[in-house]
C-alpha cells in the first residue's frame, strides 16, 4: 500500500503541474509551490518508523545526557534536538524544521535563479524526498544550508554565505568537501580569509577522530552500494548537459560559476569512484548526495534557457524528465535491499 501512496503523491504533483501549465486555474506558481511543499512537509514530518536511520535519529532526540563528545559529533543538529526536546515537540518537531528548511532553501535559490519552482519540486520529490528528507535527515539539513550559502553567493553576500557553510559543517562534517570553495572565494579579502581558515582548521581538528571513524567505516570495511550506480545515471546526464551547454548555462556571477565548475569536477570524481572503485561506492554515494544541488541547477537552467517555458514541448519534456527520475526511485523501492525501511509508511501524531 505504501508504494501506491508514494505513487499517488507523485501523480498529484504531475496533475498540479499540468493544471498550472495549461492555466486551468488562475493561481500563482508561488502559491502552488507553498501548498505542495506544505503537504509534503507534513507527510514527511509526522511519519513514524520510516527511513533507514530512523532509530538513530530517534535515539539522538531522546538523549538526555549531552557531553562534549556528543556535541562534537554534530553540534548544530544536537542543539536542534535539544531545543525541540525542551519544547516537547517529539522528533516530529525536528523533522518539521528540516523539511521546512529544505523547501525554503529550494524556493530561495529557485526564485533567485528564476527557475520553474514547480519543476524543482517535481524533480526533488524523487531526488531527495525519500532518501533525504525521510531518510538522511542530518545530511538534508546540511544540503539546505549549502543551498542557502550558494544563494547568498549569488546575492553577493559573502559573510552570510560563509555563515551558512559553517552551520552545515557543524551539522555534518562531510560538508568540508566544500571548504575549497569558500577558501578560494575569500582570497580577495585577507581578513575574511584568515578567519575562514582558522574556523575550518578548528572544526577539522576537533572532528579529526570522527573523520577517522568514517574512513574506517566506509573505506577499510569496503562498503559497497549497489544503488549508487542507478542514482549516478541522472548525475552523469547532468554532467554531459553542463559540458555541452556550459556557455548558456553559466550565470553572470563569476563566483557562482566557479561553484558550478567545482560541483562538476566533484560529481565526475564521485562517478569515477562509483564505477571503478566499487568497494568504496557507499562512501561516494553519501558524498554524491550533495550533487543534488548540481542536478537541480542543471535541470532548472536547461528548462529555463534551453527549453523555454513558452516552448510547445516544455510541458511534455518536464513530465518526461520527472517520470524518468521517479522510475529510478520506484525501481529502488522494489529491488533495493535497503528500501524496506521506507515501505511501511505510518502517519503518527502524539
Model confidence over 178-211: pLDDT tens digits? 999 999 988 888 788 888 888 888 877 776 666 6
Query: How far apart (Å, rounded) are the C-alpha atoms in residues 346 and 350?
Result: 13
Using N-to-C axis directions, what is the helix angle for 117-127 and 292-301, rounded to 10°?
150
Establish if 58 belongs to a structural domain: yes
Q: What's the DSSP call for residue 106?
A: H
Establish if 10 belongs to a structural domain: yes
Establish if 331 belongs to a structural domain: yes
CA torsion through residues 22, 27, 30, 31, sign:
negative
pLDDT of residue 309: 65
Contact 236, 304 (CB under 8 A): no
pLDDT of residue 106: 97
Query: How far apart (Å, rounded) are the C-alpha atoms in residues 220 and 250?
Result: 39
The boundaries of the domain holding residue 32 are 2-342
Contact 133, 140 (CB under 8 A): yes
Which set of grid coordinates corresponds to residue 48? 513514524
Contact 295, 123 (CB under 8 A): yes
Establish if 350 belongs to a structural domain: no
How many other C-beta atoms are found inside a 10 Å radius of the C-beta of residue 178?
22
Query: How far apart (Å, rounded) are the C-alpha atoms in residues 91 and 252?
Result: 42
pLDDT of residue 65: 64
Using the predicted structure, report yes or no on whether residue 28 has a pLDDT greater than 80: yes
Model confidence over 220-243: pLDDT tens digits? 566 667 678 888 999 999 999 999
Establish if 347 belongs to a structural domain: no
**Number of domains the chain contains:** 1
Confidence grade of residue 219 (pLDDT, cut at 50, 70, 90): low
Establish if 349 belongs to a structural domain: no
Amino acid at each position: 500500500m505504501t508504494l501506491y501512496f508514494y505513487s499517488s503523491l507523485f501523480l498529484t504533483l504531475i496533475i498540479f503541474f499540468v493544471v498550472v501549465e495549461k492555466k486551468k486555474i488562475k493561481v500563482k506558481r508561488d502559491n502552488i509551490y507553498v501548498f505542495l511543499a506544505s503537504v509534503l512537509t507534513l507527510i514527511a514530518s509526522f511519519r513514524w518508523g520510516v527511513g533507514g536511520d530512523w532509530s538513530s535519529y530517534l535515539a539522538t532526540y531522546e538523549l538526555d545526557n549531552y557531553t562534549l563528545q556528543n556535541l562534537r559529533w554534530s553540534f548544530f543538529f544536537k542543539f536542534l534536538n535539544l531545543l525541540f526536546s525542551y519544547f516537547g515537540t517529539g522528533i516530529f518537531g525536528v523533522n518539521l524544521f528540516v523539511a521546512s528548511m529544505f523547501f525554503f532553501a529550494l524556493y530561495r535559490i529557485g526564485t533567485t535563479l528564476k527557475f520553474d519552482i514547480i519543476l524543482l519540486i517535481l524533480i526533488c520529490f524523487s531526488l531527495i524526498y525519500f532518501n533525504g528528507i525521510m531518510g538522511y535527515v542530518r545530511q538534508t539539513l546540511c544540503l539546505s544550508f549549502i543551498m542557502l550559502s550558494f544563494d547568498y553567493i549569488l546575492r553577493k553576500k559573502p559573510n552570510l554565505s560563509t555563515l551558512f557553510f559553517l552551520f552545515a559543517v557543524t551539522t555534518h562534517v562531510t560538508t568540508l568537501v566544500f571548504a575549497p570553495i569558500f577558501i578560494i572565494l575569500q582570497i580577495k579579502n585577507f581578513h575574511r580569509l584568515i578567519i575562514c581558515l582558522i574556523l575550518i582548521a578548528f572544526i577539522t581538528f576537533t572532528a579529526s577522530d570522527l573523520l577517522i571513524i568514517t574512513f574506517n567505516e566506509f573505506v577499510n570495511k569496503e562498503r559497497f552500494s549497489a544503488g549508487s550506480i542507478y542514482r549516478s545515471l541522472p548525475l552523469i546526464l547532468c554532467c554531459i548537459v553542463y559540458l555541452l551547454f556550459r556557455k548558456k548555462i553559466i550565470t553572470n556571477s563569476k563566483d557562482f560559476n566557479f561553484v558550478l565548475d567545482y560541483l562538476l569536477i566533484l560529481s565526475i570524481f564521485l562517478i569515477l569512484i562509483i564505477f571503478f572503485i566499487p568497494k568504496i561506492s557507499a562512501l561516494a554515494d553519501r558524498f554524491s548526495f550533495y550533487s543534488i544541488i548540481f542536478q537541480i541547477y542543471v535541470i532548472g537552467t536547461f528548462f529555463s534557457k534551453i527549453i523555454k517555458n513558452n516552448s510547445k514541448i516544455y510541458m511534455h519534456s518536464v513530465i518526461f524528465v520527472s517520470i524518468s527520475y521517479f522510475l529510478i526511485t520506484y525501481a529502488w523501492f522494489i529491488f533495493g535491499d535497503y528500501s524496506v525501511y521506507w515501505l511501511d509508511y505510518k502517519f503518527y501524531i502524539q
